[in-house]
Amino acid sequence: MAPIAPRSGDAVFANVERVNAELFTLTYGAIVRQLLTDLEEVEEVNKQLDQMGYNIGIRLIDEFLAKSNVSRCVDFKETAEVIAKVGFKMFLGVSASVTNWDADGTCCSLILEDNPLVDFVELPDTCQGLYYCNVLSGVIRGALEMVSMKTEVTWVRDMLRGDDAYELKVKLLKQVPEEYPYKDDE
Amino acid sequence: MASTGCFIIVSKNDIPIYEAEVGSAAKKEEAAHQHQFILHAALDIVQDLAWTTSAMFLKAVDRFNDLVVSVYVTAGHTRLMLLHDSRNEDGIKSFFQEVHELYVKILLNPLYLPGSRITSSHFDTKVRALARKYL
Amino acid sequence: MADPSASYLGKTLIEEISPVVMVLGTPLVEDSSRKNGLSFVDTLRPFSLFHDIDVPVRTASDQPYRLHKFKLRLHYASEIHQPDVEASEEHLKNVVTRASDVDTSDLRSDPPQIDSLLEAAESESLPSWFQIFNKELIHIASFSEHEAFDHPVACLLVVSSKDEQPINKFVELFDTNQLPSLLSDSIMDPKILKHYLLLHDNQDGALETDIKMLTEMRSTFGSNECRLLTINSAEDGSTDWQDNPWIPHKIDASISQDLGCLLNMDDINEMKNFMQDLASKHIIPHMEQKIRVLNQQVSATRKGFRNQIKNLWWRKGKEDAPETSSGQMYAFNSIESQMRVLGDYAFMLRDYELALSNYRLLSTDYKLDKAWKRYAGVQEMMGLAFFMLDQSKKDVEYCMENALSTYLKLGSSGQRNVTRCGLWWTEILKARDQYKEAAGVYFRISNEEPSLQAAVMLEQASYCYLLSKPPMLRKYGFHLVLAGNRYYISEQRKHAIRAYRSATSVYKGNAWSFINDHVHYHIGKWYSFIEIFDVALQHLLEVVACSHQSVATQELFLKDFLQTVQKLGKAFEVFSMQLPVINIPSLKVLFEDQRTYGSVGAVNIKESLWKCLEEDMIPLLPAARTNWLESQPKLSKNLKDSNICVAGEPIRVEIEFRNPLKIPISVSGASLICQLSAEPESVESAVVNQADNNVDGNSSATVFQNDSELIKLKRSWEQDAGSSFVLSEVDFSLGGSETTVIQFVVTPKVEGILNIVGVRWKLSDSVIGYHSFDTTVLKKKTVKGRRRGGQYAKSPLKFTVIKSLPKLECCIHHLPSKAYAGELHRLVLELKNRSKFPIKNMKMKISDPRFLNAGSLDDMKIEFPICLEKRINSKESIVQPNDVEGSNGLLFSFPEDCVIEGETTFTWPLWLHTSTTGRISLYMSIYYEMENSSNDIRYRTLRTQYDLEVLPSLDMSVHVAPCPSRLQEFLVRMDVTNRSSSESFLLHQFSSVGHNWEISSLPPDGAVHPSQMLTAGQALSCFFKLKKCNDLASEGMPSSTTLHGSDVRLGPHDSEKALFDISRAPLANFHSYERLDQGKSIQGSSNVDFILISQLKQNASAASDPPRLFSHHSCHHRQESKSLIHLLVVGYNGVQETFSHEGCIIVLPIVLRNMHDACVIVVIDQAASQVDVRGTALPSNGNVWNPVKNPREITQGTDGHSDICISFSPPYTQTLTNAIWGSSTPGHLQLEDNSMTRSGSRTTTLTPNTYKASRRVIAWFYHPSHGNWKRPNLARKARFVTINNLN
């Protein structure tokens, strides 16, 4: 039996290495800015950010599972909880809350009250339609894909667009089943 | 609050990147260019003064009739200039300091290109609020 | 600093603060001097300035020094008073206007540049009239009573020799009541040095009388105060002066032709001498003398300590005296006046220390007396004295500041002195290179002045800023603008313009929008006032497109701009006008080379989509050539640098126009500018030399940055209009800050190279704007992979026009925009060929054949929907499979023989089946080749695209369940729901498609769902019987291709409605696409498809038009079955048997059916009695089933079914004691997939009885596709066999 999963990433967050928040934010900002100048179309930038996030996610998940010894999640609900409470805390230092589940528990929203990525950021008119934090959605998607959950992550609310919080809608498309050696039909 | 006041931020290469009429007096049509003229002319004085002192707040550097120009020069040689007819120097000083902080925030915005015009409405409202508070 | 007296101020002081000689002359004197066009004073004036009069002087303290430069100021007594204001104002105005005429001649030239201004300033070449003006300004303040240096020192009395009684004349000339006020009311000492001059006019006779008179005078007035001066001794007009000494002194050079025409050389010399010893022999000694006297008095009364005390005490004493600033209290003989005189005389004789000391004392006194004006005057003089002594800056500053501020305090009475004092101060500062401060002073005094003077002051201030180190250009500009304003107020427009123009050089290209607008707007307006309209427009153009101004301002600007244009009177043309703004990156070119577009929608589809749609339809380009060897280079040449378009076919260009203003503007006659020429290189050359020979003779007022550009555009506009191509003209109006996309059309008429160079439009019918498309922008954009893929790698605006080609136009008749799901339509595709030439082998590709595919010509013969109905003899019933499979059926090639002749139309039926709900868009591309293959294009494609919206109608689901009793039969339940909002449907027919299936209604006699109506929202389920008819005829062909099925008519039993034939096109095609669409994963012959055909219930009104047919398909239903093997033992109720011979043999037929896809081996244990199979036959442990090798099985096992076989435990005989079971079939038999077999089990009994043929154990095992053995399954069947004995 794996050790009981930590319900919050504080412990883990306490002993991961840290970097200056402003450096982090500005670095990310520089990336986005560069993307904007290179691809000069907001849609492209969104795609690119998501792709980058995906690439981060598929690597990050191992790190995550290794550092935070969470046990197997029994269902998607628990997965979402772990992401919100442990994952975000561990890598962003903030923790999200999981709300409005749909009926069959395959779709929920992660709500971030504050988001270190977007300090000082303000969307100019030229960049309306940019999902500044689109990298996050990519990360979640990639990470979950590594644990055989195909998900679709979309932004519902975005403070940069004048909403009151950051809301990520995580939708479980299909759960690739683990392969057993043989199947019985009884 | 001052009856007239025109606040303007001039970038390093003498381009106004933010302008606001913060006077309580009704804004007249011809006032706009007159204020610009005065402030623009005052830049000459600023460029002399700025290198003589290390202080950011060079007090009232220039005057035209009853209008006084107070200037605050940031480290990046961005100039916050205020044209006013009121006399409270402390208020102006603190006004400048707070606006400076706001401006630094704007600068940190990765999507803001330094030296370009400041279009942020949020910044604008903040500045006007400060003006009401201090001037 | 250099010697102060050498500075400009020094010189002026020497000239301005110098002894005044009051001249009194008789009218005759004037007459005789008038003959020279000069007044007497003017005649003498040139000789009143001595450059080196070498006079020894002694100071009060007896230091000798020599005076060199000296000047006398000659004035008529009538002039010696304060000049009145209006006159002087007028005078000043004249000065300025004259100046404006002089140096604003170059208004048309470009405004001066900063650097040129700077070096001009370095070289002191400031407008010279400033100094004149300043002098005049100072003179206004002269002859004030509060200062002594304007008081006459001497008095020159002149009498003509023609006067009778000259002696009395002399006397009455100097009579007090017509003396200037200074003398008359005893402000100055009336005992003034007098000098008597007798003027002799040589033209009236000889001198003798005069000599007598002179002696007489000498006797009366004293010997050396009298003198004789003869003039006009030249013959008439004989003398003309190469350098006329009087010219520089005449300010208005109006009557300069005969100045001094009657004066010859010795006259001049005489005058020179006269003035010389007047100055040296009389005035200077007199002043020197007076200085000494006064100095002694002063030092007696005021120098020394006790005098100071006494003086103080005394002043305190007359504290209560009436306090006036006018200073009448000081009579000429009062000590203060005398000190002042002393000071001023000393100053005039350059004894500055003495002057200064007196001024010092005096200033304290005046201060105590609060005689402010005098105080200020003294301070002023102190400042000047300090300056001349080259004393510390500080003192000068202090004094001048005092003086200025005191004068200011005095208000109006001091105003003139303020100006004078200020001017002197600025001169002091300038002399010491303190230009910044000087400018400040100028600004200060400008506030006190009426606008004209103020303007001049401000302009001088601006020059000071320019001269200051480092030059303060912004201040310079600002003050110029201020000056300009003042000039404008005082109607000096040219000066105003000049000031603003030089200001523009400062503000050029900075981002201070309001400043720029102000400057340009005003310059423009003023230029139009003085009617230099083109320059005016040039400036107004800068502001007319200002987006940041308020609405009112924008309207004002635009109004003035347009008015000026009207005043200009001719067409005004602007290159790249910013009103409206053209968004070049938004430029989009739509043209047709081999790709032609049938609908607007089709144009906006991505090129890539079309490409992949057409990929296997269009041939590769070289392949299209007859002989690639010679046609290849031509092709590459044409295609590499330009797009191909066809003569007579329009090229559309879409550009975005934006209105920067908040007020609406109207644009008319906007159209493209194109050049069409036979061969590419001639285009450029032609235009260029047109540009050249146009530059000189360019009459129309064109104002723009680069002439050649505009002229190029204009030329190509004028030359080509209408000649070789047709342009469209667009009129539109833009609301406040509105953006619209305008589409221009150019249709080339002849072959050649077509260049789209720019666009031209008319703003509110007066201004013609040009804008050129520089393709570099577009290139840059398109490299980034914008619109239309790589097509823009070459310049998008250059076209090779080839000669006209046939072009098909297509339209599809009765294509609905809205349809219900499953609706089936017969459309007619109509292709129009407008050209002369026929069009041959056409192919058509349709994006999704599931919705749309081509019919055959004979679909048209019978009208819809009869053509779909079953016919008795349907030969072409079988659809060819390759229609479906080949390139998943997208490509349809029309029959070889069908050719569209010129100017004919061609129709072909299409079938539309809207199988899914929602919005579907169909892409269709038709490929065709032309008979006359022009060298570049042999084929073309016609692309069309249609959108239609599909509403939900019926949806059908089918469930198949095996019939419990019959092996071959299944129960089919069809659930159909009407999802449409309002419509109601008539169910028509339900058909099963698929290899050897047969459907029949249940109950068998037919009438399924008698009222066939299904209203909106209603659901319904019907039951059918599905029978598998195993006709071995159909074994041969694969199930997917054959589509003959069986139908059941829904609705009233006896309805004679014909059934629709689902086995023919189009239904068959659509069905097969549906099969492909609905999961093609499931294979096998045993699944069945169903088609429900229904009709829309026509309401009475629309009864006429043909019925709308629907077909719904649901495919790949397989009869589910729980168990793997069906076993059916046919039993008997009774068997009659006479046990005549040995036993009775009963055969129980067994039907075994394998429902599985794999081959199965079945073992039937006939005699297995009540073995507890559950107990023993469990798979887990194989000890009951013990494998035995047996050769026959092994041979059998080669086909991989089984390498073990199972033998059962020995038969138990508890129940069937007297019956022996046997089998007619081998103990195990092999069942192919989905096959069935019959076997029999034989039993023999000896005694009649009722037997229970029970507990037969069937074991099977099969070998599925992927390897591992499945364990045997067990089934038990029990049948009672009763054998009753007959006897």
pLDDT at position A147 is 86
Q: What SS3 class is residue C1159?
A: coil
Chain B interface includes C473 (CB < 8 A):
yes
Q: What's residue C1194's pLDDT?
A: 31
- Most C CBs within 10 Å: which of B15, B19, B35, B40, as the mutation test of the C interface? B40
**Which residues of chain B lie closer than 8 angstroms to C472, CB-CB?**
44-45
> Which chain C residues are closer than 8 Å to B29 by Cβ?
550, 552-553
Which of A28, A118, A120 has the most B C-beta neighbours within 10 Å, making it the best mutation to test the interface with B? A120
Q: What pLDDT score does C1179 carry?
A: 35
Chain A nearest-CA distance from B111, in A, is 6
The dihedral through the CA atoms of C1194, C1196, C1200, C1203 has a sign that is negative
Cβ contacts from B onto C, under 8 A: 42
**Structure confidence at residue A8 (pLDDT):** 65
User: Under an 8 A CB cutoff, do C515 and B44 touch?
Assistant: no
Determine contact: C475 vs chain B, CB below 8 A.
Answer: yes
Strand order in the sheet with C193-201: C73-76, C20-25, C152-160, C193-201, C226-231
The answer to whether B109 contacts chain A (CB < 8 Å) is yes
> Can you give the pLDDT at residue C906?
82
Residues C1207 and C1135 in one domain: yes
Residue C106 has pLDDT above 90, yes or no: no
pLDDT above 60 (res C1120): no
Q: Does residue C1086 belong to any structural domain of this protein?
A: yes
**Banded model confidence at residue A57, pLDDT cuts 50, 70, 90:** very high
- List of chains touching B (3+ CB pairs within 8 A): A, C
From B40, B42, B45, residue closest to C512, measured CB to CB: B40
**Domain-embedded: residue A49:** yes
Q: Is residue A14 one of the residues assigned to a domain?
A: no
Which of C571-585, C615-629, C838-852, C926-940 has the weakest average pLDDT? Answer: C615-629
CA distance C1032 to C632: 60
Residues in Cβ contact with A113 at an 8 Å cutoff, skipping those fewer than 6 apart: A94, A96, A97, A165, A166
Taking residues A109-134, report their average pLDDT: 86
pLDDT of residue A141: 92
Q: C515–B37: do the CB atoms touch at under 8 Å?
A: yes
**Mean pLDDT within C209-226:** 79
- Could you tell me the pLDDT band of residue C543, with boundaries at 50, 70 and 90? confident
C473 contacts on B by Cβ (under 8 Å)? 44
Residue A51, in any domain of the structure: yes
Give the mean pLDDT of C173-202.
74
pLDDT confidence band for C1260 (50 / 70 / 90)? low
Among residues C68, C60, C72, C53, the alpha carbon closest in space to that of C280 is found at C53
Answer whether C1161's CB lies under 8 Å from C1124's CB: no
| Whether the predicted pLDDT of C1156 surpasses 70 | no
N-term to C-term CA, chain A: 29
Contacts of B40 in chain C (CB under 8 A): 474, 477-478, 510, 512, 515
Contacts of C340 (CB under 8 A, 6+ apart): C147, C148, C358, C362, C374, C378
At C621 the pLDDT is 52
For A31, the closest chain B residue by CA position comes to: B110
Closest CA to C429 of C391, C396, C458: C396
Q: Which residues pair with C769 in a beta bridge?
A: C574, C761
CA distances from C52 to A20, C17, C45, C280, C558 (A): 84, 17, 16, 11, 65
- What is the mean pLDDT of the segment spanning C65-76? 82
- In this structure, the answer to whether residues C1049 and C971 fall within a common structural domain is yes
C630 is a domain residue: no
Residues C1014 and C1140 in one domain: no
CATH of the domain at C1109: 2.60.40
Average pLDDT of C1151-1164?
64
Indicate the residue type of C1226: P
The boundaries of the domain holding residue A26 are 20-177
Highest mean pLDDT of the ranges C301-310, C473-482, C601-610, C1003-1012: C473-482
Pick the most confident of C56-70, C620-634, C647-661, C995-1009: C647-661
**Residue after which a domain boundary falls, among C1074, C1098, C1118:** C1118
**Least confident stretch, B96-105, C788-797, C817-826, C895-904:** C788-797
Domain presence at residue C719: yes
DSSP C385-447: HHHHTT--HHHHHHHHHHHHHHHHHHGGGGHHHHHHHHHHHHHHHHHTT-HHHHHHHHHHHHH
Tokens of C215: 């002696």
Instruction: Check pLDDT > 50 for residue C331.
Output: yes
SS3 A37: helix
What does the pLDDT look like over C1178-1216, one tens digit per residue?
Answer: 333 333 333 333 333 333 333 333 333 333 333 333 334
Number of other CB atoms surrounding residue C347 within 10 Å: 24
- CB distance B111 to B95 below 8 Å: no
Tell whether C436 is within 8 A of chain B (Cβ): no
CA-based nearest distance C507→chain B, Å:
10
In the sheet with C1236-1245, reading across from the earlier edge strand, the strands are C1125-1129, C1144-1154, C1236-1245, C1219-1223
Residue C1253 has φ and ψ, to the nearest 5°, of: -85, 95
Task: Please state the φ and ψ torsions of residue C863, each to the nearest 5 degrees.
Answer: -85, 160
Compute the nearest-CA separation of C689 from chain B (Å): 42
CATH number, position A140: 3.30.1380.20
Question: What is the chain B residue with the closest CA to C548?
Answer: B32
Q: Is residue C756 within 8 Å of residue C661, measured between CB atoms?
A: no
Half-sphere exposure at residue C434, Cβ-oriented, CA atoms within 13 angstroms: 16
Q: Is the pLDDT of residue C362 over 80?
A: yes
Number of domains within chain C: 8
- Is there a contact between C515 and B32 if contact means CB atoms under 8 Å apart? no
Same domain assignment for residues C207 and C339: no
**Separation between Cα atoms, residue B26 and residue B18, nearest integer Å:** 20
Cα dihedral C828, C834, C836, C840, rounded to 10, equals -30
pLDDT at residue C22, as a whole number = 85
DSSP E strands, C773-862: 798-802, 808-813, 818-820, 823-833, 839-846, 852-854
Interface membership of C472 toward B (CB under 8 Å): yes
Distance from C-alpha of B8 to C-alpha of C597, rounded to nearest angstrom: 55
- Tell me, yes or no, whether C223 and C203 share the same domain: yes
Predicted pLDDT at C1192: 35
Give the pair of three-digit tokens for residue A118. Answer: 């977007």
Residue of B nearest to A125 (CA): B119
CA atoms within 13 A on the CB side of C755: 22
More confident: C838 or B70: B70
- End-to-end CA separation in angstroms for chain C: 168
pLDDT at C1086: 59
Least confident of A31-35, C411-415, C486-490, C926-930: C411-415
Average pLDDT over every residue of C1152-1176? 51
Query: How much of chain C is in helix, strand and coil states, percent to nearest 5?
Result: 35, 25, 35
- Over residues C842-870, the mean pLDDT reads 76
Number of helices followed by number of strands (H, E) in chain A: 6, 4
Pick from C465, C475, C511: which is nearest to B15 by CB? C511
- pLDDT value of position C382: 87
The CA-atom distances, in angstroms, between C371 and each of C322, C507, C1210 are: 11, 48, 157
Q: Looking at mean pLDDT, say which of C323-337, C714-728, C1113-1127 comes out highest.
A: C714-728
Residue A185 placed within a domain: no
Instruction: Please check whether residue C626 lies inside any domain of the structure.
Output: no
Q: What is the pLDDT of residue B99?
A: 92
Cα C83 to the chain's mean position, in Å?
A: 62
Residue B107: closest C-alpha in chain A: A120
What CATH number belongs to B5-134? 3.30.450.70
Nearest alpha-carbon partner for B30 in C451, C522, C558: C522
Chain B residues touching residue C550 (CB < 8 angstroms): 29
Asked if the C-beta of C517 comes within 8 angstroms of chain B's C-beta atoms, the answer is yes
Query: Within this chain, do residues C943 and C956 fall inside the same structural domain, yes or no?
Result: no
Percentage, residues of chain C above pLDDT 70: 65
Q: Which residue of C has its CA nearest to B34?
A: C515
State whether residue C90 is helix, strand or coil: helix
Chain B residues with CB-CB distance to A120 below 8 A: 105-106, 108-110
Q: Contacts of residue A30 in chain B, CB cutoff 8 Å? A: 110
Interface test with chain A among B104, B111, B117, by most A beta carbons within 10 Å: B111
With a CB cutoff of 8 Å and minimum separation 6, the contacts of B63 are B69
Give the whole-angstrom CA distance, residue C1065 versus residue C1048. 20
**pLDDT score of B27:** 62
pLDDT at A75 over 70: yes
CB C1047 within 8 A of CB C991: yes
Record: contact C517-B33, CB cut-off 8 A: yes
Would you place residue C121 in the very low, low, confident or very high pLDDT band (cuts 50, 70, 90)?
Answer: low
CA C385 to chain centre: 64
- Shortest distance, CA B41 to any CA of chain C (angstroms): 5
Q: CB neighbours of C453 closer than 8 A, spacing ≥ 6?
A: C92, C137, C419, C446
Tokens of C875: 């030969």
Q: How many domains in chain A?
A: 1
Closest CA to C994 of C1099, C1100, C1086: C1086
pLDDT at C685 over 80: no
Does C1132 lie in the same domain as C1211?
A: yes
Interface contact flag, A32 B122, Cβ < 8 Å? no
CA A139-A144-A147 angle, 5° bins: 140
Among the ranges A46-60, C509-523, C1120-1134, which has the highest mean pLDDT value?
A: A46-60
Judge whether C514 is closer than 8 Å to chain B, CB to CB.
yes
Task: Name the more confident of C519 and C1053.
Answer: C519
Chain B residues with CB under 8 Å of A42 CB are none
Q: Do A120 and B108 touch (CB under 8 A)?
A: yes
- Write down how long chain C is: 1287
Residue B97's pLDDT band (cuts 50, 70, 90): very high
Cβ within 8 Å, pair B111-A30: no
Q: Does B32 touch chain C (CB under 8 A)?
A: yes
From B106, B111, B120, residue closest to A127, measured CB to CB: B111
Contact across the interface for C512 and B36, Cβ inside 8 Å: yes
> What is the domain extent for residue C1188?
1125-1285
pLDDT tier, A185 (very low <50, low <70, confident <90, very high otherwise): very low
- C305 vs C691, more confident: C305
Q: What is the pLDDT of residue C1039?
A: 41
pLDDT in tens, C730-773: 888 888 888 888 888 888 888 888 888 888 888 887 888 888 87
List of chain B residues whose C-beta atoms are within 8 Å of the C-beta of residue A34: none
Cβ-based contacts of A28 with chain B (< 8 Å):
110
For residue C837, what are the CA distances in angstroms to C496, C620, C626, C896, C1072?
Answer: 73, 23, 19, 17, 39
What is the reported pLDDT for A180?
Answer: 57
Backbone angles phi, psi at C671, to 5 degrees: -155, 165
Q: Do C1058 and C958 share a domain, yes or no?
A: yes
Is the pTM higher than 0.90? The answer reads: no
Q: Which of A60-64, C243-247, C817-821, C824-828 has the lowest mean pLDDT?
A: C243-247
Domains of chain B by residue range: 5-134
**Do C1086 and C941 share a structural domain?**
no
Confidence of residue A140 (pLDDT cuts 50, 70, 90): very high
For residue C602, the Cα-to-chain-centroid distance in whole angstroms is: 29
Q: Give the mean pLDDT of chain C.
A: 71
- Across the interface, whether the CB atoms of B44 and C465 are under 8 A apart is answered yes
Q: At what angle do helices C335-348 and C284-301 cross, to 10 degrees?
A: 140
Backbone angles phi, psi at C472, to 5 degrees: -100, 85
Domain boundary among C540, C570, C600: C570
Q: Which region holds residue C707: left if phi is over 0, alpha if psi is between -120 and 50, else beta?
A: alpha
Chain C residues with CB-CB distance to B36 below 8 A: 512, 514-515
Q: Which residues of A touch B119 (CB under 8 A)?
A: 124-125
Q: Rounded to an integer, what is the distance from CA C1279 to the centroid of its chain?
A: 93
Whether A10 is covered by a domain: the verdict is no
Residue C1205 is predicted with a pLDDT of: 31
Among candidates B14, B32, B45 on the partner chain, residue whose Cβ is nearest the Cβ of C514: B32
Q: Distance from CA of residue A65 to its chain's centroid?
A: 15
Q: Give the number of beta-carbon pairs within 8 Å between A and B.
A: 35
Return the structure tokens found at C834.
Answer: 């407008």
Dihedral through CA C783, CA C788, CA C789, CA C793, nearest 10? Answer: -50
pLDDT-derived band at C728, boundaries 50, 70, 90: confident
